[in-house]
Amino acid sequence: MSVDTDKVDNIAGDDPHLKKEFGTIGLLFTAIGSIIGSGWLFSSLHASSLAGPAAILSWVVGTIMFLFIGLSYAELGVMMPRSGGVARYPHYAWGSFASYSFGWITWLACASVAAVEVSAVLTYASSYIHWLENPNGTLKPAGLVVAILMLGLFVLINFLGVKWFARINNVLVWWKLIMIVLVIVAIMIAAFHSGNFSATVKDGSGFAPNGIKGAMEAIPAAGIAFSFLGWRQGIELAGETDNPKKNVPLTLIGSILICGVLYILLQVAFIGALDPSALAENGWSGVGNAIETGTSAGNFSPLAALATFLGMGWLAGLLYADAFISPGDTGLIYTSVTARMSYAMGRNRNAPAELAKVNNNGVPWVSLILAWIAGSIFFLPFPSWQQLVSIVTSLTVLSFGSGSIALLTFRKQLPDMERPYRSRMPWVIAPLALLATNLIMYWAGWDQVWKMMAAVAIGYIFLGIFQAMDKGRAPKLEFKYGWWVLVWFAGITLVSYLGSYSGSDTKEAGQADVYGFNGGIVANIVLTAVVLALAWYCQLPKERVEAILNETEEIIDEDEEKLAPGV
C-alpha cells in the first residue's frame, strides 16, 4: 500500500474545516508571543536566586537545548503539517497507545499554562491590589473569580477564529518585543555594576556560588525552560498556516534564537543593576529583598520593583501594564493550543469525537470549553507561580521527547514521502534533543518527577474508561508497538529517584541520592540510548503507517455528522 499524497495533504493533514490563515509573521509572532509571557517577568529573579551570576550560563544552555528540540521537529512540521502535531506524530509512528500517552501529557501541560499566565498577572497585580492573593501566593476568593473570568475571556477571543486571533496577537507581540528591549536598555543605562558578576556575598562567592549544579537546576526550577515552551506553536498550528515549508522552520528556529538572545541580555542587565551593598547583605538567595532593601516587594514584581529602585517610575508603570499584556497574550495563545491538542486526540479517535467538533469559524469549540474548565481547576491546589511552573515544565518537556525519535523512525517508515525541509545530521540532532529532554526533567528534581508520573497514571485511568465506554469508535491500542513509552517513563522515574536533585530546599524524603551531578548526566545518557533503541525496535511497520494515513478519509466520513461546523 502507498500513501495517497493528495489525500494526506488535504485530509490527513487536518480537518478540512480548519482554516489556513496563519502567514509567516502570524505564525512566528504566535510562537514569540507564547514564549514571551510571564517567564521574562519573573525568571531573572528566580534564576539569580538559584545560580547567582551563573544564571547567564543557565539561559545559554537552555537556549541550546531547546534549539536541538526545535530542530528535531522542523522536518516533521513541514512533512506533515498537523494542528496538534505533538500528539499526532506518535500516532503515526507507534500507534494509539503511544499517541494517547503523549497526547494526554501535552494536553494537560497546555491546559495548565494558561492558568500559569493568569496567575502571573494576579501576582504582579497583588503588589497594589491586595484582595487578589494571600501572602503565600494562593488566590483569595475574589482573586479566584477574577482568574476564572480572565480565562473565560481568552476562550471568547478564540471563538472568533484564527484570523482575528492572529491580528490581536500580532499587535500584542510588537508591544512585548518593544517592552523587553526597552527594559534591557533602560536598566543597563541606569545602573550597571560589573563587580556583581564575581561578587563575594554572604551565601557564596564568585560567578557560580552554587556551582554548575545550581546553574543547571535553574533551567527547570527558575522558569527558564518554561520561558521557551512557546516555540511549539510552529508545530501545534502548522495545519493552519498557508506555507508550512517556509513558515514552520522559520518559526521553530527563529523564535528560540530571538527570545534566547533577549533573555540572556535581560539576565545580564538584571544582575548588573543590583545594588552591591544590598546584595552583599542579603545574598543571592535573598536577591528579591536586595532589590528593595529590607522588603519583599521584589519577589512579587521584581522588574517593576527594580525600575522603581533605580528611579524609573515611568518604566515601573509600563511594566505593571505589561504584567497584564505579556502573560495575557500567552494565556490567549495557550488556550487556543490546548483546544487543538484535544482536537487532535479526537481526530486520532483516542478521545471522544465531540472534541474535534468545529464551529463556522473553523474553531474546535467543544475543546475550547474543555480548556476553560481544565484551566480553572489549576487555580485551586497550587500556591504560587513558581510551583505551577515546575510541574508544567516537566510535563511539557516530556511531551516533546517523542518528536526527536519520530524524526528517525519516519526516515525508515516513510522514506518516499516528500520532505520539503530535510534535517541535516538527524542521528546527531535527535539523540541530543532526547538527552536534553531527559536532563531538563532530571534537573527538575524528584519532587516534580513523581508528581508528573502520578498525573500520567491518572491519564491511563481515563484511557481505560474511554476504551470501555466507546468500544465501537476507540482504535486498537497497538500496545505491541507502544509499550516502550512505559519503559521510558519508568526510566525517568528511576534515574530521578537515584539522583541528587530534589526540586525542593531539602532532600525529598525517600530519595536515594546515589549519584551526584556527573553521575546524573551519565545515567541520562544511558537512558537516552535505551529509549532510542526500544522506540526504533517498536516502530509500526511501514504498511501500517501508510494505512493510518489513508484511513483518515474514512474517519472523516464516519464522524462527519458529529464534526460538521456549528455550535
Interval 472-507: pLDDT, tens: 666 678 899 999 999 999 999 999 999 988 766 555
Above 50 in pLDDT, residue 275?
yes
Mean predicted lDDT score pLDDT of the chain: 81
- CA 137 to chain CA centroid, Å, is 22
Residue 9 CB partners (closer than 8 Å, separation 6+): none
Above 60 in pLDDT, residue 126?
yes
pLDDT in tens, 239-263: 667 777 778 888 888 999 999 999 9
pLDDT band at 106 (very low <50, low <70, confident <90, very high): confident
Above 70 in pLDDT, residue 382?
no
Segment 513-519 mean pLDDT: 88
pLDDT in tens, 324-342: 888 887 787 778 778 877 7
Position 191 in a domain: yes
Tell me the percentage of the chain whose pLDDT exceeds 90: 27
pLDDT band at 532 (very low <50, low <70, confident <90, very high): very high
For residue 552, the model assigns a pLDDT of 53
Position 390 in a domain: yes
For residue 563, the model assigns a pLDDT of 47
Segment 207-225 mean pLDDT: 89
pLDDT band at 236 (very low <50, low <70, confident <90, very high): low
Range of the domain at 99: 5-431+541-563
Position 77 in a domain: yes
Q: Is 496 exposed, middle or buried (0-12, 13-18, 19+ CB in 10 A)?
A: buried
pTM (predicted TM-score): 0.82
- Side chain identity, residue 361: N
Q: Is 463 helix (H, G, I), strand (E, B) or coil?
A: helix
Q: What is the CATH number of the domain that holds 350?
A: 1.20.1740.10
Above 90 in pLDDT, residue 268?
yes
Residue 417 CB partners (closer than 8 Å, separation 6+): 3, 5, 79, 410
For residue 59, the model assigns a pLDDT of 96
For residue 509, the model assigns a pLDDT of 53
pLDDT band at 409 (very low <50, low <70, confident <90, very high): very high
Q: Is 141 helix (H, G, I), strand (E, B) or coil?
A: helix
Above 90 in pLDDT, residue 347?
no
pLDDT in tens, 46-61: 899 899 999 999 999 9
Position 451 in a domain: no
Which three three-digit cell numbers place residue 476?
A: 486498537
Helix axes 85-94, 385-413, angle to 10 degrees: 40
pLDDT in tens, 280-303: 888 888 887 767 544 444 456 788
What domain count does the chain have? 1
pLDDT band at 21 (very low <50, low <70, confident <90, very high): low
Q: What share of the chain is helix, strand, coil (3-state, %, to 5)?
A: 75, 0, 25
Residue given cell 464522524 in the structure block: 559
Position 104 in a domain: yes
For residue 104, the model assigns a pLDDT of 86
For residue 294, the model assigns a pLDDT of 42
For residue 3, the model assigns a pLDDT of 45
Tally of CB atoms within 10 A around 561: 8
Tell me the percentage of the chain whose pLDDT exceeds 70: 83
Position 456 in a domain: no
- Side chain identity, residue 106: T
For residue 293, the model assigns a pLDDT of 44
Position 159 in a domain: yes
Above 80 in pLDDT, residue 312?
yes
Above 90 in pLDDT, residue 142?
no
Above 60 in pLDDT, residue 17?
no
Above 70 in pLDDT, residue 12?
no
Position 476 in a domain: no
Segment 543-556 mean pLDDT: 70
For residue 192, the model assigns a pLDDT of 94
Question: CA distances (Å), 250 to each of 178, 233, 421, 429, in order?
Answer: 21, 12, 11, 17
Range among 81-90, 156-165, 452-461, 463-472 with highest mean pLDDT value: 452-461
For residue 523, the model assigns a pLDDT of 96
